[in-house]
Amino acid sequence: MTVCARMRRDLGLALLLLLSAAVESDGMSPPGKPVFLGCRSPEKETFTCWWEPGSGGGLPTTHRLYYEREKLEGTHECPDYHSAGKNSCFFDKDHTSIWVDYYLTVVASNALGNATSGHFKMDVMEIVKPNAPENVTLQVMKREDNPYLHVRWEHPHNTDTKSGWVTIKYELRVKHRNNNEWKEYTSGTQTQFNLYNINPGEMYVVQVRCRLDHGSWSEWSNSTSVKTFNYPQNDKPFWILVSALSTVPFLTAMCILVIKRKYVKKVLLPPVPGPKIRGIDVQLLKRGRSEDVSNALIINQGFPSVPAWKDEIEDYLIVSDDVLLPDPHRKKKSLTVAAGFHLNLEIQCKESLGQRDWEKAEERKNGIDTFPPQLPTQKQLCPNVTFVHAEATDQRWPIHDAAAESTVQLLAPTGYVDIQRHKSMQEEADGNEMDYTRVNDGNILILQKDKFPGCMDVQRQEENIPEDYSRVKEVDGDNKVLLQRQSFSADSSCGEKGTPYTDCTNKKPINPHVPGPSKVELIGSGYVDTIY
Amino acid sequence: MEPWNEIARKTLKEGDGSQKIQRRQTLGGGVVRGGIVQRCPHQRPARPSLAALGQNALPQHHTRPGTGRVMTPRPSMCHTSSLQTPSDKAQALQISGSDLLSLARSLLQAWVDPLVVLSDSAYTLPHPAHNSISNKIQELQEHSKILGDGLDVLSSKMGPEAQTLSLLPYTGNDIGQDRISKLINFHFLMSCFRRDSHKIDSFLKVLRCRAAKMQPEMC
């Protein structure tokens, strides 16, 4: 070759090089080779693949994806370039098959040329990765002293959980707001979870993720956080309220108690009646004048000498069980008493008494026939009632009507039975005097109204007549009549009529005004003791 | 087998990553329980993670962008590829329960022999982790046996249709002589096994969900 020819060839080459350099310096070139980024199937029914374009080449470049598939003839192009965004290919359900290999390639082409990526082999079963779980909610559940966090979420909306084609499993992680350490828990297929080891007053952050069968885990869901309560502080206002509310009724109760202390005292500590001795004036005692004291202590109103009493014949008071019901129409004077012990008292109304009084007694008596099984109630007794001393049970009282029967059986020797002064009788017996009389043969003691000045007055003032009585409870033995215990009125100060102590009654007959020769004879010791 | 050698050289050049068998120990969510036979016949046995075991034993294919064409034996050459199985959700849901069970049992039965071969050759596998690979293979064998027994019991209760088995014999008795072909063949068999175990897993899960209509947590 001549030198000229060689030089021409070299020149051509140089020019070509320059030209190519010039062209490249303008940015025009065939496209660079695209690169596969990866593929993903979120639910094992469709999948998407992404690639990265190579260097641009300066010219508008188009990318095309081609694929071949096992058990499928030929090469096919991507069915959908747009649904999944730029540089992607979306395979819908009709184009997705599983357990078969796909061979994918992307070809980038521009005016100057093509560039092909390498084959990318994939099987759908390998690229399964679901979306993150949705709607993660977090709640603090109060359970007395053991609060806990309740986490709830939903499966990603595009996964099918009903057919068994995929099985979702969940995982969650928790941390304190300020901490960086996550604690992970597995939830299995449940879409809720309870966290029990939480501290009050803390802010907790929770995230959840899931995976299908044995595929890849999804991304963590967005953080959901909640703050737990501060329990000690929460309790405080509650307790303050409780204590405030409870003090008000408490104070009210205390005030009421203080105001009504007298009443309370009365209720709690009922006044015990002190012993009352008739004829004793407490005030007198308190004043302490010796004269008065001795006067008060000694009941000297018509107190006969004792020996004189003893001379008398002993009388008996016989008490029988027979109950003879008085005939209300027959002016019966007997009053029957008590089961087991009937004390029949015969009302003796002396003829010496005024008819008026007798009638009154009668009326009163007729109204009441029988006693309840108790000791004789006092109001049924005619004020004229006396002890009846009779020796014989069937003795008739000469002073009674023929129809009247003596039902009084007297037991040997007994003392006296208390005489009750009837209240109403008393009121009208104003000025009348009660008196004891004695019938000779029958040893009947007749109580007449007589004047007991001091006593009468006192008794008229007496309000609670029944309290002056002792009821005969039982006749015990020869010399004893057991009286029923009574409550004694503090105001009773009369020592003569209707005293609680029968010894007082014994003194009644000791009335200097008593007419008649006979006197009531005291038994034995002189009086019947009330036995407590 | 010239292309095979080509492939082997290439794969070896890419580094050990693609040939290494990952040995993640996780067995996934399902564990084959020994007591399958004692379970209520309406309850499906817990899914073994045969698929997981298989998956973890093999590298991911798609992690090598731009490495050129990797020509491994095509999966259509698996010895079980002749079995007609559904290829998407719609087809799978149309198959009857008996057929699903039959498919699962056929696949399981088809892998009894190949697993023996794999187990034998794992000891001599020219790979640094051949011991753990060998352990894994033995685990796979045990789990397959247990699952197979359980499915046999289930099929006997489901009727004659479930009893049909497709025979899928494995003819290869050797995975190769030289190092490269051993590795490639081993890898190929494992990938076939992974796919089939994934199929069994899916079929049985669909069956379980169908059987437990009143218990959505079974799906």
Ordered alpha helix ranges (H), A39-120: none
pLDDT value of position A56: 77
Assign residue A331 a region (left: φ > 0; alpha: ψ between -120 and 50; beta: otherwise): left
**If DSSP states are collapsed to H, E and C, what string results for A200-228?**
CCCEEEEEEEEEECCCCCCCCCCCEEEEC
Residue B169 lies in a domain: yes
Residue B52 lies in a domain: no
Assign residue B83 a region (left: φ > 0; alpha: ψ between -120 and 50; beta: otherwise): beta
Which tokens belong to A380? 């049924």
Residues of A in contact with B68 (CB under 8 A): 118
Residues of B in contact with A162 (CB under 8 A): 209, 216, 219
B53-93 per-position pLDDT tens digit: 444 444 444 333 333 334 456 667 899 999 999 999 999 99
* Among the listed residues A483, A520, A516, A517, the one whose alpha carbon sits nearest the alpha carbon of residue A502: A483
Residues of A in contact with B201 (CB under 8 A): 213-214
Complex ipTM tops 0.90 = no
Please report the domains of chain A, with CATH numbers, ordered by start residue: 35-126 (2.60.40.10), 134-234 (2.60.40.10)
Q: Please enumerate in sequence order all residues whose Cβ is within 8 A of that of B78, keeping only pairs 6 or more positions apart, or say none.
A: B192, B195, B196
pLDDT value of position A338: 40
DSSP string, A382-436: -TT---B--SSTTPPPTTS-SS------PBSS--PPPPPPPHHHHHHTTT--EEE
Question: Of the candidates B52, B65, B199, which has its C-beta nearest A214's C-beta?
Answer: B52
Neighbouring CB atoms inside 10 A of A359's CB total 13
Residue B7 lies in a domain: no
Q: Write down the mean pLDDT value for chain A.
A: 69
Higher pLDDT, A156 or A312: A156
| B62 with A127: Cβ contact below 8 A | yes
Q: Which residue in B has a C-alpha nearest to residue A126's C-alpha?
A: B60
Higher pLDDT, A378 or A85: A85
Asked if the C-beta of B60 comes within 8 angstroms of chain A's C-beta atoms, the answer is: yes
Residue B40 lies in a domain: no
pLDDT value of position A311: 52
Which tokens belong to B214? 């009143």
Beta-bridge partner residues of A444: A388, A439
Q: Can you give the residue range of the structural domain that contains B139?
A: 93-218
DSSP string, chain B: -HHHHHHHHHHHHT-STTTSPP------S----GGGGGS-TTSPPPPP-HHHHHHHHS--GGG-TTS----PPPGGGSTTTTS----SHHHHHHS-HHHHHHHHHHHHHHTHHHHHHHHHHHHT-SSTTHHHHHHHHHHHHHHHHHHHHHHHHHHHHH-GGGG-------------SSHHHHHHHHHHHHHHHHHHHHHHHHHHHHHHHHH-TT-GGG-
pLDDT value of position A299: 59
Residue B36 lies in a domain: no
Asked if the C-beta of A44 comes within 8 angstroms of chain B's C-beta atoms, the answer is: yes
- pTM value? 0.52
Residue A444 has pLDDT above 80, yes or no: no
Question: Of the candidates B62, B70, B92, which has its C-beta nearest A38's C-beta?
Answer: B62
Residue B198 lies in a domain: yes
Asked if the C-beta of A39 comes within 8 angstroms of chain B's C-beta atoms, the answer is: yes
Residue A331 has pLDDT above 70, yes or no: no
* Among the listed residues A125, A135, A218, A127, the one whose alpha carbon sits nearest the alpha carbon of residue A171: A218
Residue A324 has pLDDT above 60, yes or no: no
Residue A310 has pLDDT above 70, yes or no: no
- Cα separation, B103 vs B60, in Å, equals 26
Q: Would you place residue A5 in the very low, low, confident or very high pLDDT band (cuts 50, 70, 90)?
A: confident
Residue B54 lies in a domain: no
Q: Are B108 and B152 in contact (CB under 8 A)?
A: no
B45-55 per-position pLDDT tens digit: 444 455 554 44
Residue B99 lies in a domain: yes
Q: Which amino acid is residue B183, in one-letter code?
A: L
| A190 with B217: Cβ contact below 8 A | yes
Considering its fold, how many domains does chain B have in total? 1
Measured in angstroms, the CA of A222 and the nearest CA of chain B are apart by 25
Measured in angstroms, the CA of A229 and the nearest CA of chain B are apart by 34
What mean pLDDT is predicted for residues A159-166? 91
Asked if the C-beta of B66 comes within 8 angstroms of chain A's C-beta atoms, the answer is: yes
Question: Of the candidates B65, B195, B218, which has its C-beta nearest A99's C-beta?
Answer: B195
Q: Would you place residue A183 in the very low, low, confident or very high pLDDT band (cuts 50, 70, 90)?
A: very high
Q: Please enumerate in sequence order all residues whose Cβ is within 8 A of that of A205, keeping only pairs 6 or more positions apart, or say none.
A: A174, A175, A176, A177, A223, A224, A225
Residue A198 has pLDDT above 70, yes or no: yes
Residue A493 has pLDDT above 70, yes or no: no
Q: Which residue in B has a C-alpha nearest to residue A40's C-alpha?
A: B62
Q: Are A274 and A492 in contact (CB under 8 A)?
A: no
